[in-house]
């Protein structure tokens, strides 16, 4: 048995060695002229990827809170779990963009911090969570604007037209529509609660399903 295990180990280590040999020996000669992103902009984009994932985990905590049996708001839970996965998709879209521009060929391992623990994990009611969500989106919007600012004008004096257009037309577009939607929900729910309190939240929750 031991000798079999050793043989397997040997085969594995040979395979590993040959895989590494191949990779280390083959120097790629790909023109670099097309790589035109500048560091200040790249670093802002890298940081934004983690911001999106932080937002995802914050929404995850909201989803978890409203799933509790003592809170029992399945509509809110669904809204927030879906928002969590959407934020993760945003992070992946930013990654895909950098890859398309020839970036992320190194320092990939440090791109995302290990666990992004959400700051707030319980809410007094649905309205307060929706308000927190709206505030969260507003800070994300501000951060995307910061990325745009740096990618448009920076110490390297390089205006990254295409990325600025993508962030403006795609990301900001979604931010503003999402914020309007959340603000509308806060408004409707607050008005419902004014007259009907708990009943208002109960009814609103079922609307979200």
Partner 1 sequence: MIVSTSRINCTAKYGAIDGVEESLQTYVNHHFIRSFEYLLMATHYANYEKNRPGFEKLFRGLSDDTWKEGIELIQYITTRGGEMNFNLVSSEVTAEEVGDPNFELYELNSIAKALDIEKKLAMEAHKIHAEATRKNSKFHDPEISSHLEHEFMAKQRDIIRKLAGYTSDLSALLNTPDNSLALYLFDDYLQKQ
Contact between 138 and partner 1 by CB under 8 A: the answer reads: no
- Which member of 1, 3, 33, 115 binds partner 1 (CB under 8 A)? 115
Contact between 125 and partner 1 by CB under 8 A: the answer reads: no
Contact between 131 and Fe ion by CB under 5 A: the answer reads: no
Contact between 139 and partner 1 by CB under 8 A: the answer reads: no
Choose the one of Fe ion, partner 1, none that binds residue 130, judging by a C-beta under 5 to 8 angstroms depending on kind: none
Contact between 90 and Fe ion by CB under 5 A: the answer reads: yes
- Which member of 95, 129, 148, 189 binds partner 1 (CB under 8 A)? 95
Contact between 54 and Fe ion by CB under 5 A: the answer reads: no
CB atoms closer than 10 angstroms to residue 112: 15
Q: What is the DSSP string of 83-149?
A: HHHHHHHHHHHHHHHHHHTT--SS--TTSS-S----S----SSHHHHHHHHHHHHHHHHHHHHHHHH
Q: Taking a C-beta distance cutoff of 8 angstroms, is the pair 112, 49 a contact?
A: yes
- Going from the C-alpha of 15 to that of each of 6, 21, 134, 162, the distances in angstroms are 14, 10, 53, 43
CA-based end-to-end distance of the chain: 58
Q: Please tell me the distance from the alpha carbon of residue 109 to that of residue 106, in angstroms, as a whole number.
A: 8
Q: Near partner 1 by CB under 8 A, which window of 64-72, 125-133, 145-153, 185-193?
A: 64-72
Contact between 26 and partner 1 by CB under 8 A: the answer reads: yes
Contact between 65 and Fe ion by CB under 5 A: the answer reads: no
Phi first, then psi: what are they for 125, rounded to 5°?
A: -165, 180
Look up residue 123 and give its two tokens: 């809410």
Q: Which of 146, 202, 142 is nearest to 176 (CA)?
A: 142
Chain-centre distance for alpha carbon 66: 21
Choose the one of Fe ion, partner 1, none that binds residue 201, judging by a C-beta under 5 to 8 angstroms depending on kind: none
Q: What angle do CA 27, 102, 95 make, to 5 degrees?
A: 125
For partner 1, which is the closer residue by CB, 40 or 118?
118
Report the interface residues with partner 1, using CB under 8 A: 11-12, 14-16, 18-20, 22-23, 26, 28, 30, 53, 57, 60-61, 63-65, 67-70, 77, 81, 84-85, 88, 91-92, 95-96, 99, 102-106, 108-112, 114-115, 117-118, 121
Report the interface residues with Fe ion, using CB under 5 A: 52, 87, 90
Instruction: Report the binding-site residues for Fe cation.
Output: 52, 87, 90, 137, 175
């Amino acid at each position: 048995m031991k000798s079999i295990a050793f043989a397997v180990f040997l085969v594995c280590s040979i395979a590993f060695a040959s895989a590494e040999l191949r990779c280390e020996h083959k120097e790629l000669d790909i023109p670099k002229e097309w790589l035109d992103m500048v560091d200040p902009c790249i670093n802002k984009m890298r940081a934004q990827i983690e911001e999106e994932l932080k937002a995802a985990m914050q929404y995850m905590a909201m989803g978890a809170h409203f799933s509790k049996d003592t809170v029992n708001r399945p509509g809110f839970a669904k809204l927030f779990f879906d928002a969590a996965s959407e934020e993760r998709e945003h992070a992946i879209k930013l990654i895909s963009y950098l890859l398309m521009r020839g970036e992320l060929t190194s320092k990939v391992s440090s791109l995302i911090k290990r666990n992004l623990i959400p700051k707030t994990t319980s809410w007094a009611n649905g309205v307060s969570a929706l308000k927190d969500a709206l505030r969260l989106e507003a800070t994300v919007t501000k951060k995307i604007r910061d990325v745009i600012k740096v990618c448009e004008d920076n110490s390297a004096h390089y205006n990254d037209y295409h990325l600025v257009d993508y962030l403006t037309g795609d990301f900001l577009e979604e931010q503003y529509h999402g914020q309007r939607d959340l603000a509308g929900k806060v408004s409707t729910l607050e008005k419902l609660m004014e007259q009907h309190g708990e009943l208002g939240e109960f009814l609103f929750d079922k609307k979200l399903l």
